[in-house]
Structure 1
Amino acid sequence: MSRKMHSTLKRWIEELETDVEIVSSHEINEEAGSNLFSFGFNQCLLSEWGRESVQEFLASCADLYKRKCSGSAMVFYSWLDNQAGQIRISAVSESHNKLPFGCKINMTSLEQVVDDIFSNDSGLYTKGALDVWCKNI
């Protein structure tokens, strides 16, 4: 981990290292729910953390999930739940060929999801599709 990542985000990565046990299931919603972690924040914390730190945090989460998924082909994904004020991450098996959302999604870049977090705009209510960053792990 680089020095760019804020100490709070580094601690969250350390806690994830202990808490994450990747579940694989034929049922996509069971898998997604079991692998879901949420991180609350507010604008004051975002100002303290900075964009680079949040971006590095999410990339580190993806790397951690990759290490924990025991060679199973999975998709890590992250998005902003702006109603809950949370950054959310999860993973599902690639074999599902979809993500477990009941809304239209916009597959986007990590940078866009970080922009969404800082503007508190997931795209769902303003563009009609939820911005989601995915990475095959």
Structure 2
Amino acid sequence: MSKEQYFKDLEEIIHDVIYIGSSDSELQKEIETNMWCISISEEISNEVNLSDFSAFIMNVIANRQNQINHSNKQSGLIFYLWFDFMASQLRFNLISDSNKELPFRCKIQNVSEPDEIIDLFLKSNVYDEITQDTDTNENDTDNEYVLKVYTQYLDKQ
């Protein structure tokens, strides 16, 4: 598979319809409906670069913003992106902005750019082993896992 075919196959993710809940009680349905997981083979990871994935994620965010703008809901959503280290997948999701916390059971380190998460994803396939970035855990006295997450608020415009 070529890089072009790989991203062509991912185009359907850009246009997937999102679910916007009516209340906080619909958080689980938002999580289940609005999560996308992306894997990459070692062969393709050698062909793609950070800017390829950055453009893809920006297209996803633009589409989600457009869907929010055209929805009948008045609230916005939180877009969040992370690298699932155990599954070796780039993942992203949307939940209503009324939720004050992201639905993770670990500590979160917010990063300012999606490129930091994308870079973790791309580097995970460069090596024959999955390695965890332990720098975030060195200063943590509990030695609890810390997940890097990029978040962006998508307000209705």
TM-score range, shorter chain: 0.7 to 0.9
How much has 1:10 moved relative to structure 2? 4.2
Which consecutive segments of 4 or more residues in structure 1 shift more than 4 A?
A: 121-126
Mark the runs of 5 or more structure 1 residues left unpaired by the alignment: none
Query: What is the TM-score normalised by the length of structure 2?
Result: 0.72
Is the aligned partner of 1:105 residue 2:108? Answer: yes
Kindly tell me the number of residue pairs found equivalent between the two proteins: 132
Q: Which secondary structure does the structure 2 equivalent of 1:84 belong to?
A: coil
Q: Which moved more, 1:50-59 or 1:22-31?
A: 22-31
Equivalent position amino acid for 2:147 in 1: L
CA-CA distance at 1:98 after TM superposition: 1.4
Q: Distance in 2 between matches of 1:53 and 1:78?
A: 16
Aligned to 2:30: 31
CA–CA distance in structure 2, aligned partners of residues 60 and 122 of structure 1: 28
Q: Which one has a bigger Cα radius of gyration?
A: 2
**Is 1:52 aligned with 2:55?**
no
Which deviations, in whole Å up to 9, do the C-alpha atoms of 1:45-90 show, x marking residues without a partner? 1221211101111121111111122253111111111211211111
Pairing 1:1-137 to 2, within 5 Å after superposition: 6-13=4-11, 15-24=12-21, 25-27=23-25, 28-69=27-68, 70=71, 72-108=75-111, 109-120=113-124, 123=133, 127=137, 128-137=145-154
> Taking structure 1 as the reference length, what is the TM-score of the superposition?
0.81
After superposition, the CA RMSD in angstroms is: 2.4
